Amino acid sequence: MSLDGFIAGPGHTMDWGGGRPLAGFVAPDDLAEIAAATGSMLIGRRTWDVGSRMEAEEPGSVDYPFSGPFFLLTHRPLEPPDPDVTILSGDIGDAVATALDAAGGKSLEILGADVASQCLERGLVDEILVYVLPVLLGAGIPFSSPGLARVDLEPVSSARSGDATILRFRVRK
C-alpha cells in the first residue's frame, strides 16, 4: 500500500514502484517468513486478472514466494482453466471456510480490496498485514472498498523491512 492508502494506481495499474518491482521494497527474509506462515490464499478476480496480465507482460514480475493452494473468488470461469486453482463463488463465509480448511492450520491470506472488505464486514478477518511503501500516489484503488463500515483495530507490530514498513493489526471483534 502507498502511504496515502492505495494498493494499485488508477485503472488497476501495478507499475507504481518507480521502476522497481513492489516485492523488491520488502526484505526477502520477511517475505519468505510471512509466506511460510501462509497455508492458502483466497484471491479476488480483479487481483487475479491484474496478476495474470503482469505475468504475461513480464514473466516473473509476480514473485511472491508462496506455493500452496489458491482459491479464486469469481462468477466467471478461467480461460483457459487452471488445474492448480479452485474457483469459488457465492457466500463469502463458505469461501473462507473452504480456503481455511485447506490451509492445514496455517494462515489464510486474503488478497483484493473487495474480497477483503467483504470478509471484514462479516467479521471473518483476524489480522491485517500491510506493507507500506514510501510513496504518495494521490489516486488509485483504495485499501478497502468505499462504504465499508468502521472497523476497530489493535496494533500488534510495526517494523522497517528493506524500504517498506510492515504493519500488523488485530481486528477487534
Ligand X SMILES: NC(=O)c1ccc[n+]([C@@H]2O[C@H](COP(=O)([O-])OP(=O)(O)OC[C@H]3O[C@@H](n4cnc5c(N)ncnc54)[C@H](OP(=O)(O)O)[C@@H]3O)[C@@H](O)[C@H]2O)c1
Residues that bind ligand X (CB under 6 A): 7-8, 12, 14, 44-47, 50, 73-76, 89-90, 92, 111-115, 118, 141
Torsion of CA 119, 47, 101, 66, to 10 degrees: -130
Q: How far is the CB of 118 from ligand X (least distance, A)?
A: 6
CB of 72 within 8 A of CB of 48?
yes
Q: How far is the CB of 110 from ligand X (least distance, A)?
A: 9
Q: How far is the CB of 94 from ligand X (least distance, A)?
A: 9
Q: How far is the CB of 33 from ligand X (least distance, A)?
A: 17
Nearer Cβ to ligand X, position 18 or 105?
Answer: 18
Beta bridge partners of 71: 42, 86
Hunting for cell 467479521 — which residue is that? 123
Nearer Cβ to ligand X, position 49 or 105?
Answer: 49
Nearer Cβ to ligand X, position 14 or 128?
Answer: 14
| Max intra-chain CA distance, the chain | 42
Nearer Cβ to ligand X, position 30 or 114?
Answer: 114
Q: How far is the CB of 76 from ligand X (least distance, A)?
A: 5
Those residues whose C-beta lies under 8 Å from the C-beta of residue 138, and which sit 6 or more positions away, are 4
One DSSP character per residue, 23-80 reads GGGS-HHHHHHHHHTEEEEEEEHHHHHHHHHHHHHSTT-S-----S-EEEE-SS--SS
Nearer Cβ to ligand X, position 100 or 115?
Answer: 115
